[in-house]
Structure 1
Amino acid sequence: MYDPDHETLVKALRQAAEQLTENRSIRDLETTVSKLVHAAVTTIPGASGGGISRTELGTVRSSHATDERIYELDQLQSDLGQGPCITAADDPPETGVVTATDLAGDDAARWPEFAPRCVRAGHRSLMSVQLSLHGERRSALNIYSHDPGVFDTSAQLTAGLFGLQAAVLLHGADHAAHLGHALESRDTIGQAKGILMERFTVDDDEAFQMLVSSSQETNIRLVDVARWLTEEAAARRAENQRRAPHDRR
């Protein structure tokens, strides 16, 4: 049985946690997730590669793969709609870990289309750890091995610990993305209100109500109305600047 090097494991997990608290941008978080996947592959004996599969509204995409072949195998599970990562993301056991001990043996029957193609690609076993439990977005950490029977209980526990860190990081990335969109929308609406206040000599509240009324009457989202208005104002300024030299002649 694999007995994990606890010092190496704790060090890798601590480093990931420190990076999580230090990072401030979505790019940093995504980079940290990639490093975490590589750390999991390095720490778990027999692992030959890894990646993350993310499911949203029925579509699965591969990300943070350690190499192109792993990316293709993760994506293959998405295209076929079957494989350990699909099972882990959508219908996992209580442990959250799905293990394919030998895709050329008994496990081939569980995923009849994926298993032989994964074996032909040089990977006999695969372990997938569910990373998210709620909402429309589901994800799994996938660890591949060239050899069969390498992912025992201890290896699954180690993968589960890395999975917890990856889940927190991905949640942070999603939260940062939503926050960024919210701030962008707020800025766009603020710019649109400023345009209306100047153009129609109204106050802040009146400008906002003009945007709301336009949104309701056109059945267009408020932020899209605001974006159209700011783009229209920018186009008008550009046109005025273009004409200015001719008007001075």
Structure 2
Amino acid sequence: MEVVESLLPILRRAAGDLMRQRSIRDLEKTLAGIVHAAVDTVPGADAGGLSITEDGRVTARTPTSGSVTKLDQLQSDLHEGPCITALEDPSEDGLVLADDLAGADAARWPDFAPHAVEAGYRSVLSTRLCTDGRGMRAALNLYGGRPHVFDANARLTAGLFGAQAAILLYGSQHATNLMRAVDSRDVIGQAKGILMERFDVDEDDAFQMLVRSSQDTNMKLVDVAQWLRRETAERRRMARDADAG
């Protein structure tokens, strides 16, 4: 109970800091905030990073050091390590611990373990962050320089932190997607306005012109709209240059 009581204020402050900075709309800033708060919070953690699975590929994100960048990416390249196990093994409960990568755990991840030890990390704790099972999956990876540093208290803290971090990450994903949708709508609206003015058509006809162009060119509707906006801007620039000459 003491662990929970001490952890919750830290998580609330981390979430508050992120939202005050409006970084909940910026996925990279949100991820960096999650990683640094976790390293500061979980006992035994000296460094950390996030691994994200999108479109079947695992990428390393927002590490706290260059060595973690290499190790997180190495797990992806080798398709082996505590992070990969946390992300992909359904028999795991989402929390995967390597107590000593120079000892018994070396046999479980034989290709990854020597690299982690060489980089100065004997312990790794990976916590799966359950976001959207149909899209992005993530794992929080915490690295300790000494063996056996992630005791029951640290594992409980990491698990609680991971649950809260997943909520932040999920919210950030959807905020980012929403902003993209709003931006796309604005671009399409501008493109419709250009066509309405240029061809003296109403809004519905302008939209249908964009749709037909999208189908004929096999381009996304928003890409057609962006092209039209750029082409119009270029026309206006050339007209200004001609007038100036």
Aligned-residue identity in percent: 57
Whichever residue aligns with residue 67 of structure 1, its letter is: S
Distance apart, 1:10 and its partner CA:
2.4
Query: What residue number does 2:147 align with?
Result: 148
> When the two structures are aligned, how many residues end up with a matched partner?
244
Structure 1 residues 223 and 42, CA gap change in structure 2 (3 angstroms) = closer
TM-align CA RMSD: 2.1
Query: What residue number does 1:206 align with?
Result: 205
For each residue in 1:96-115, what CA deviation from the matched residue of structure 2 results, as whole angstroms up to 9, or x when unmatched? 10111111112111111100
Distance apart, 1:46 and its partner CA:
2.1
Query: What residue number does 2:14 align with?
Result: 16
User: Given the alignment, which residue of 64, 67, 90 partners 1:66?
Assistant: 64
For each residue in 1:73-96, what CA deviation from the matched residue of structure 2 results, as whole angstroms up to 9, or x when unmatched? 112212222111111112254521
Structure 1 residues 25 and 203, CA gap change in structure 2 (3 angstroms) = farther
CA–CA separation in structure 1 for the residues paired with 2:223 and 2:30? 33
CA–CA separation in structure 2 for the residues paired with 1:145 and 1:54? 21
Whichever residue aligns with residue 115 of structure 2, its letter is: R
CA–CA separation in structure 1 for the residues paired with 2:151 and 2:69? 24
SS at match of 2:46: strand
Structure 1 residues 32 and 224, CA gap change in structure 2 (3 angstroms) = closer
**TM-score of the pair, normalised by structure 2:** 0.90
Q: Which of these two proteins has the greater Rg computed from alpha carbons?
A: 1
Structure 1 residues 129 and 190, CA gap change in structure 2 (3 angstroms) = same
CA–CA separation in structure 1 for the residues paired with 2:2 and 2:30? 22
Distance apart, 1:47 and its partner CA:
1.7
CA–CA separation in structure 2 for the residues paired with 1:206 and 1:226? 14
**TM-score of the pair, normalised by structure 1:** 0.89
User: Given the alignment, which residue of 88, 91, 97 partners 2:89?
Assistant: 91
For each residue in 1:37-91, what CA deviation from the matched residue of structure 2 results, as whole angstroms up to 9, or x when unmatched? 2232233322211111111122222122222222221122122221111111122
SS at match of 1:108: helix
Distance apart, 1:192 and its partner CA:
0.8
Query: What residue number does 2:49 align with?
Result: 51
SS at match of 1:160: helix
Query: What residue number does 2:34 align with?
Result: 36
CA–CA separation in structure 2 for the residues paired with 1:39 and 1:227? 39
Structure 1 residues 203 and 164, CA gap change in structure 2 (3 angstroms) = same
The answer on whether the counterparts of 2:25 and 2:175 sit within 8 Å (CA) in structure 1 is: no
